[in-house]
Chain A
């Protein structure tokens, strides 16, 4: 006769036997073991994702900032130069930062993209207009852990560059100040902690630009 039927009939509560408690505890511990194991795995996975996300975010920030620089480039203001004891050439340009809460850093600013001593790829900006008494600047770290970086510029062929494209265009690894204009494409190659990264930027005002006039 089933126990529930016995209980209902007699009206006396039957205590749980030790075996039932042991089975219950066993099942619960198996369940919790699975649960906590999956939670630990999930936490470890989350930590890895967070790390990857922050790396990705830094790279996205670099791309966004440099896109802004190349789009707002002032006519013929871009050039590369090695300043002081720098190991790598810096990229120097005047670009439009738009409206900033700080009026000194609004509108057109002078900028320099360079590698600092702590291997950070930095963008430093100076206001173009100042009263001559002080020269404030703002430096933003765009990418950390950069071992090396190199720009390649696509421009009108004036001399043999690092790689000719056709009779009119060639790639150059430097854009000297006396060249003027802006490249059609700027390719940035970076080695960050052994990982190669590459970006391409398109200035909105490339000059000189090969053009083919209608009927020309």
Chain B
């Protein structure tokens, strides 16, 4: 019986040592996987930045060639379902500068639009469905942004300081967003950085380039789907305010006409960006990187 106890003790010690060793091995392998994933995602960022740069060079020689290329691409994509962009572009971000500068009283529509965006994106996940939490957060955000402007600094979104740990932590999570998010499917929440901006340049929100997530905020998910399909469909004509109103009626949505004043319905080109946001991920390790890259100016040689 004593021998049995002794053997049992030895086996217990051995199994504890084996588990500890296995845990170490798993931890090391996880670290290695993350590092390799990070390196792979970095390579993708460099690759995408280079592709964007060379694509911008190609377009320089002749506008006629560019038009022909676009036409060919349209013909090629015949019958295809329009694909949503990875990120909401800068031209389609809600510019909160007028709200910070003039105050809520002068910009009630913009204030409501910003609050609605916060409520739809983060109401369930971060505000825990608390009543008017998005308004309290928005007020704190505007106050903090105003403080930056008072100090003669145009605030970068990620540098806004709330001087309140609770709001700051919440804001950090909003800015980062979740790796996987789909508003239409109800998965995660998007990064706030992709949907708002603070810029002195007064411009409306570009409807044509808007991400379906942003359209879903103001036109409901069903209306957003229809609107996106109509704008980006094969041989889609220029969308007008009346078209948007019709789509909203079809989706049984009562739209505030003042809200439409925030949108730019023109397909027109925007000024070339100096910075580009690149999103790259490595599916094997689930590492996802988001980089803001200053694009180089083209130089012929």
Contact = CB atoms under 8 A, between A and B. Distances in A.
B163 to A, nearest CB: 10
A86 interface: no
Given A71-B42, A71-B45, A106 B294 contact: no
Interface residues of A, number: 47
B214 to A, nearest CB: 20
A104 B159 contact: yes
A207 B296 contact: yes
A15 interface: no
Nearest to A100: B158
Contacts of A104: 159, 161
Interface stretch (A3-11, A72-80, A112-120, A147-155): A72-80
A198 interface: no
Contacts of B251: none
Q: Which range contains the number of B residues in contact with the other chain? A: 35 or more
Contacts of B175: 99
A182 B295 CA distance: 11
Contacts of B53: 205, 209
B54 to A, nearest CB: 8
Given A213-B57, A215-B61, A108 B156 contact: yes
B186 interface: no
A202 B46 contact: yes
A108 B54 CA distance: 25
A122 to B, nearest CB: 21
B62 to A, nearest CB: 9
Contact of B24 (A32, A46, A205): A46
A103 to B, nearest CB: 4
Interface string A105-145: 01110000000000000000001010100000000000000
Nearest to B171: A103
Contact of B296 (A63, A67, A209): A209
A2 interface: no
Interface stretch (B31-39, B73-81, B234-242): B31-39
Nearest to B297: A207
7 contacts: A64-B38, A71-B42, A71-B46, A72-B291, A75-B296, A99-B158, A101-B169
Interface of A: 32, 35, 39, 42, 46, 50, 53, 57, 60, 63-64, 67, 71-75, 96, 98-101, 103-104, 106-108, 127, 129, 131, 168, 181-182, 202, 204-216
